[in-house]
Structure 1
Amino acid sequence: MRLKIFFLCFTILLFISGCTKSENLDTNPYLSIINHLTSEEMMGRLPGTTGNKKAQEYIKTQFTSIGLEPVFNESYMHPYTHTFYNPEKQNIKMSLVKDSEEINLVYEKDFVVQNSVKDLQIQLPICAQKEELINEDCLFVTQDKYPLNNEHIKGILKQSPILSKHLPSGFGGIPIIQIQEDIYKKILEKGVDLIQQVNLNMQLISEDIEANNIVGKIAGKGHGDHKDAVIISAHFDSLGSMDGNYFEGAIDNASGVAGLIQLAINLKQHSLKEEFQSDIILVAFNGEESGLQGSEAFVKDIAKNYKNISNINIDSVGDKNDDEYVIVNADNGKVLRDRLVDYLSSNEFKITEENPSLTSDHVSFSKYNYPAITIGQNNLDTIHTLDDTRDLIDHIKLHEIVTGIFNYIVNTEKVDLEITQEPSEMTEEEIAIMDELIEVATEEAEKLEFGQYKVVSIPEDDKENAQSILASNTHISFTSVSAIPNNINWLIIPEVLDVYTFSEGEISFTITPDNYNSLEKDKIYEIDKFSKEDLNSLYLTYLDSSKEGYEILISTMPFQNNDKNRLSTYKGHEYTIYDSSFLNIHTTRTFDNKTYYYSISKIKQNDFGENILLWKTDEGEQAIKTIDSINLETLTQDMGL
């Protein structure tokens, strides 16, 4: 899965000094915490509900009794604005039409939405034949895998043995609907051809509410400046209810919160004997299931207080049916992940390869270029289902991983990593204005068509002191080469690359109007024709019939590499082997007095349309030979660049 983000780059480090022997922690309180958080009183811990607020108060009480210090405004509560989709206000309906008979399906009993669309009204027939035979708009019904590259497939109906709930967020792609097994059988019994139509309606209504993360601190020595922080986190929210039954959310993630509280207790006790070098911050995040909303707000605020931050996030641990742990990181968390893997592996923990399905709050830290990882377990079968109950928790296993994390923290020496960019010297007021300008520009850009731009300013009612910024839509995605718009018709994308067929592409440009200062505020302008000199990046995916293939990113700006990557030379070209458990390869080509930067990965597309990296760490040299055979210079020139 690709994340399109803006970075703020700071010094990165993991650092704590402490004892040199392992310590044993008391195992008694885990089940008490889990039983409380999974009780009906908590009502599934959905943000915006009374149960979620009760969970906040419970964790706050725990932090108070431990003796943690508040971080924000002398309060353990860290408020943020949360986008809430009240389940009682949403309009989600689906029905099958056969012989003029309409069969209404019951939401959360017969079907649930896996991938939401905010405003949708479609009436389409069902299809189930091979992808290449589908040439009319339809909803694809399947029990297993499904195609995602046929423009005629407007939605997926996927039979699921257990319905799993997903809260609205992101709103990308086509609707994916999970249907119960008996509904799937009913469709097959009636015959796909005999179901004339499926009616699917989604009108999702959001409202802004105030929610809270719960934050406490153990102050370190700090060398008098307190600019370093290790942040340990776990999200406490869950999914509310489904078909009248509350989600316990035991594995996901009452287990992580129980582990967080026990870590807080024992780290606090340890600090009374020996102070940490850094501040240790313990955070129970809200809104993880709603698109990481709580952690995104937290990172933005905590970045104002600290120069150097690292994050260890706990999500879904203590499963009695799973003996293996997974540690996932974003691009800038590799050093942290490798150190933690080495430490836990040497203490007899089984660590498996990264699981791409495990996405959690560490991603929010990555957006600010902070090293961050999530530790969880590999078995996610019950996650987001009503079967995720407290009886799945093995408190001894939970205790073991908490002890492992604790001993890693107190035995790890400080590690200073390379400074990639000096932090901004802007004042807090200037930073706040810039944040607001970027937020306004982002909101306005979403309303523009590709190739449009406008000037927006704040405050709107004070022309003398207004600050302005350019909002533009210069990014477009396309799933066929014929869909490339006219204002970039000089771009020629090949349909076929060796044995691989074009699957999808994205292109983005950077524009700076020469007459910026004379542009009228809020007037929409159009770009008649983009120039290749304005190109920022071009992303292409090519796949074969088994959904294996290549991602090729062509950029006019260099990628950020570091001395941990491996360098190689082949046939006169330099390559950077970017190693993060799986490989992608960076290289450059210069022709016509212009340099292009390439990032290439071998991939396999999974059932959810996500691209999973395939090149393993020992396949770097073979990967380079494969890339050399593509002839990047000819490919780029033939595309008109």
Structure 2
Amino acid sequence: MCLEADNKDCILLLKEHPNSNNANPNGQVYLVLDEDVKRSAPFHHNIDKKIFHISKDTYSKLYENIGEEVHIKIDSKEKIITQNHVVSMITGQSHDVAVVISAHYDHVGKINNTIWRGAIDNASGVSAMLQIAEELSTYYKTTKPPVDIIFCAFNSEESSNENYSMGSSYFSEYLKTRYNNIYNINFDCVGGNVEDNLITFDINSKSNTNEIKNILEVLQESFIANNYDTAITENSFASDHWKFDEGINISTGTGDGLIHTPKDTKELLNPNYIYQISEIVYEYIINSINIFIKTNDETNYDDSKIFSIIDSEEEKLQPYTLKYMEIEDNVYCIINNEVDTTIEDIKNISKVDLSSISKYLDVEDVSGTISYYYDWYDPNKHELDKIYDVNTEFNNFVTIRLFDNSFGDQINNSYTIEIVNIKDKNSAVGSSLYNIYLNQDYIYELEKDGITYKIQDTVVSYDEEGNPKEKQILIYAEKSFNEKVVFMTFQCPDLFKRNGFVHKDIETSLDELNKILEQEKFYEFANETIENIWEQVK
């Protein structure tokens, strides 16, 4: 350990945080004095060092032993958890564009009796977002905005940095599958440092486009007209707007460096200042929302008309073909992709034999549908109105759905099996499928022979007083390796009914449920089915 690193193996003891200008090229570990109990590493660009905050007492002890060896031990446990965003929307006239107004609501937590309350970071931003949401919902009570306005309180922002995904990563990628253009106005740390009257707008390098410059110019003028000073930075304020191609963060500063310390409390905030900022952005949105619409065509699109055209064009296509078609100035993929199939058909187009499903269900003719992945429209690769074939190689399938129609409308007695092939759970489509199906709350989870089983229950009938009367069980069987995932969903009420498992509180009957699954050899059946598919698509 040393005060000035003269070799790369030295641990450097520092009184203040380094930055990209004064970082020592030697010394890969920095021990930095931190009297404010800061609970996150300083956020510096271009410093590839391991940085640890230490207390004043620890600093003094280390200082007395300069030149000695230092051993650092960290006890930690890895835990995979599901964290949720809070989302709402004001539905617009057109669903081609989304304006996302956001703020992260997580903070850095507590240790024993020390609580990091996060008033500036970021109760202030959430307050601003909620104020705007309340006023816009009132304003658009009897009419619709021209585009969808989405409000999102993000989770997992504090557990991230510029090198890996923030909590907003999935949500921004998901929106790309639904909208052609997405604009984000994010609030992070507003209402502190009010004495300098400065509003800072930060954009990321991806957002340095003509569209965002036009939007930012009008937003900036709105604040200047209300006697605020403004500044524009790029990649200087790490927050959720970085995960949007067109994103702006609004901030008044980080409270003289007191964020991520126990001193970040409500006393640092000026509520009137937060309200004023909210009002300016609210007025900006209702007066300038058309700036988010790229086209000059002010015609309100009729979605029902568009869907009618799409349905009509789909009927003209042969199975497993598609074309890209322009409707109302937008390009849509018209595809005939989900085609009827049987277990015999699947066996004929692949080496996969799913006859085990027929045997397990004791049903002779198991049928359903199969669909495949296809390309998003790329003007450099595709021509409008040209017919393309969908890749129907078996390892390109998305879903196989098998179901029983023999019970007619008595859906609660039929079976439904769905097999899903996620090629890459980090892709936009893959992450959507994974989160829709597998990133949920389960009442039961276990692993057997490399397969993870997850169980959910849903209410399918109620008594006269509106209380749950009967629950239906849905089982997920999942196999994954790296980013590849194959899973099966299984719904078969008759299997449980014949074992007397009905009208029960499933959460208190998990042992009995597991015994039934073992007795019915469900785990062997699921394992055989998943492994059969896995071998063909891995």
Give the TM-score normalised by the residue count of structure 1. Answer: 0.44
- Relative to structure 1, the CA distance from residue 200 to residue 162 in structure 2 (aligned partners, 3 Å threshold; closer, same or farther) is same
Q: Distance in 2 between matches of 1:209 and 1:340?
A: 38
Pair 1:347-2:226 in alignment:
yes
Which deviations, in whole Å up to 9, do the C-alpha atoms of 1:158-194 show, x marking residues without a partner? 1123221128999x94320112234323433x2523x
Q: CA deviation at 1:341?
A: 1.9
1:84-99 correspondence runs (5 A): none
Pair 1:387-2:330 in alignment:
no
Pair 1:180-2:250 in alignment:
no
Of structures 1 and 2, the one with the larger relative CO (CA 8 A, separation 6+) is: 1
Q: Which of the residues 228, 243, 256 maps onto 2:125?
A: 256
Q: CA deviation at 1:456?
A: 9.0
- Map of 1:359 onto structure 2: 238
Which deviations, in whole Å up to 9, do the C-alpha atoms of 1:395-450 show, x marking residues without a partner? 110111001110111111334559xxx98959896279699434479xxxxxxxxx
- Map of 2:278 onto structure 1: 402
Q: Which of the residues 180, 185, 195 maps onto 1:312?
A: 185
Q: Distance in 2 between matches of 1:168 and 1:423?
A: 45
Q: Which of the residues 72, 76, 94 maps onto 1:204?
A: 76
Q: Distance in 2 between matches of 1:345 and 1:258?
A: 22
- Map of 1:437 onto structure 2: 423
- Map of 1:30 onto structure 2: none
For 1:185, the aligned partner's letter is S
Q: Distance in 1 between matches of 2:533 and 2:179?
A: 35
Q: Distance in 1 between matches of 2:426 and 2:238?
A: 28
- Relative to structure 1, the CA distance from residue 270 to residue 173 in structure 2 (aligned partners, 3 Å threshold; closer, same or farther) is same
Q: Distance in 1 between matches of 2:372 and 2:153?
A: 28
Q: CA deviation at 1:128?
A: 1.2
For 1:313, the aligned partner's letter is N
Sequence identity percentage: 25
For 2:171, the aligned partner's letter is F
Which deviations, in whole Å up to 9, do the C-alpha atoms of 1:55-83 show, x marking residues without a partner? xxxxxxxxxxxxxxxxxxxxxxxxxxxxx
- Relative to structure 1, the CA distance from residue 145 to residue 229 in structure 2 (aligned partners, 3 Å threshold; closer, same or farther) is closer
- Map of 1:514 onto structure 2: none
Q: CA deviation at 1:227?
A: 2.2
Q: CA deviation at 1:302?
A: 2.5
- Relative to structure 1, the CA distance from residue 466 to residue 232 in structure 2 (aligned partners, 3 Å threshold; closer, same or farther) is farther
- Relative to structure 1, the CA distance from residue 417 to residue 462 in structure 2 (aligned partners, 3 Å threshold; closer, same or farther) is farther
- Map of 1:597 onto structure 2: none
Q: Distance in 1 between matches of 2:90 and 2:230?
A: 29
- Relative to structure 1, the CA distance from residue 204 to residue 265 in structure 2 (aligned partners, 3 Å threshold; closer, same or farther) is same
1:222-237 correspondence runs (5 A): 222=94, 226-237=95-106
Q: CA deviation at 1:216?
A: 0.7
Q: Distance in 2 between matches of 1:456 and 1:401?
A: 42
- Map of 1:286 onto structure 2: 155
Q: Distance in 1 between matches of 2:229 and 2:112?
A: 37
- Relative to structure 1, the CA distance from residue 345 to residue 321 in structure 2 (aligned partners, 3 Å threshold; closer, same or farther) is closer
Q: Which of the residues 198, 202, 205 maps onto 1:331?
A: 205
1:119-158 correspondence runs (5 A): 126-129=1-4, 131=5, 134-135=6-7, 137-144=9-16, 146=18, 148=23, 150=25, 152-158=26-32
- Map of 2:108 onto structure 1: 239
- Map of 1:275 onto structure 2: 144
Q: Distance in 1 between matches of 2:53 and 2:154?
A: 28
* Paired residue secondary structure (1:461): helix
Contact 2:120 2:254 in 1 (8 A): no
* Paired residue secondary structure (1:135): coil
- Relative to structure 1, the CA distance from residue 327 to residue 457 in structure 2 (aligned partners, 3 Å threshold; closer, same or farther) is closer
210-219 or 338-347, which deviates more = 338-347
- Map of 1:414 onto structure 2: 291
Q: Distance in 2 between matches of 1:186 and 1:424?
A: 67
* Paired residue secondary structure (2:264): coil
Contact 1:137 1:153 in 2 (8 A): yes
* Paired residue secondary structure (1:127): coil
- Map of 1:298 onto structure 2: 171
Q: CA deviation at 1:296?
A: 1.3
Q: Distance in 1 between matches of 2:259 and 2:332?
A: 40
| Structure (1 or 2) with the larger CA radius of gyration | 2
For 1:385, the aligned partner's letter is T
Q: Distance in 2 between matches of 1:435 and 1:180?
A: 50
Q: Which of the residues 461, 470, 480 maps onto 2:531?
A: 461
- Relative to structure 1, the CA distance from residue 382 to residue 467 in structure 2 (aligned partners, 3 Å threshold; closer, same or farther) is same
* Paired residue secondary structure (1:202): coil
Q: Distance in 2 between matches of 1:163 and 1:357?
A: 23
Q: Which of the residues 241, 249, 253 maps onto 1:374?
A: 249
- Relative to structure 1, the CA distance from residue 435 to residue 333 in structure 2 (aligned partners, 3 Å threshold; closer, same or farther) is farther
- Map of 1:532 onto structure 2: none
- Relative to structure 1, the CA distance from residue 175 to residue 464 in structure 2 (aligned partners, 3 Å threshold; closer, same or farther) is closer
Pair 1:165-2:39 in alignment:
yes
Contact 2:183 2:247 in 1 (8 A): yes
For 1:398, the aligned partner's letter is I
Structure 1, unaligned stretches of length 5 or more? 1-125, 442-453, 469-641
Q: CA deviation at 1:464?
A: 8.6
For 1:344, the aligned partner's letter is F
- Relative to structure 1, the CA distance from residue 309 to residue 465 in structure 2 (aligned partners, 3 Å threshold; closer, same or farther) is farther
- Relative to structure 1, the CA distance from residue 378 to residue 203 in structure 2 (aligned partners, 3 Å threshold; closer, same or farther) is same
**Larger strand share, 1 or 2:** 1
Contact 2:97 2:179 in 1 (8 A): yes
* Paired residue secondary structure (1:354): strand
Q: How many residues align?
A: 315
Q: Distance in 1 between matches of 2:241 and 2:424?
A: 23
Give the TM-score normalised by the residue count of structure 2. Answer: 0.52
For 2:291, the aligned partner's letter is K
Q: Distance in 1 between matches of 2:426 and 2:232?
A: 40
Q: Distance in 1 between matches of 2:238 and 2:128?
A: 19
Contact 1:169 1:290 in 2 (8 A): no
- Relative to structure 1, the CA distance from residue 127 to residue 409 in structure 2 (aligned partners, 3 Å threshold; closer, same or farther) is same
- Relative to structure 1, the CA distance from residue 177 to residue 410 in structure 2 (aligned partners, 3 Å threshold; closer, same or farther) is same
Contact 1:167 1:289 in 2 (8 A): no
Contact 1:320 1:397 in 2 (8 A): no
Which deviations, in whole Å up to 9, do the C-alpha atoms of 1:355-412 show, x marking residues without a partner? 755211111223xxxx111111124411111000011111110111001110111111
Q: Distance in 2 between matches of 1:163 and 1:456?
A: 38
- Relative to structure 1, the CA distance from residue 400 to residue 169 in structure 2 (aligned partners, 3 Å threshold; closer, same or farther) is closer
- Relative to structure 1, the CA distance from residue 309 to residue 429 in structure 2 (aligned partners, 3 Å threshold; closer, same or farther) is farther
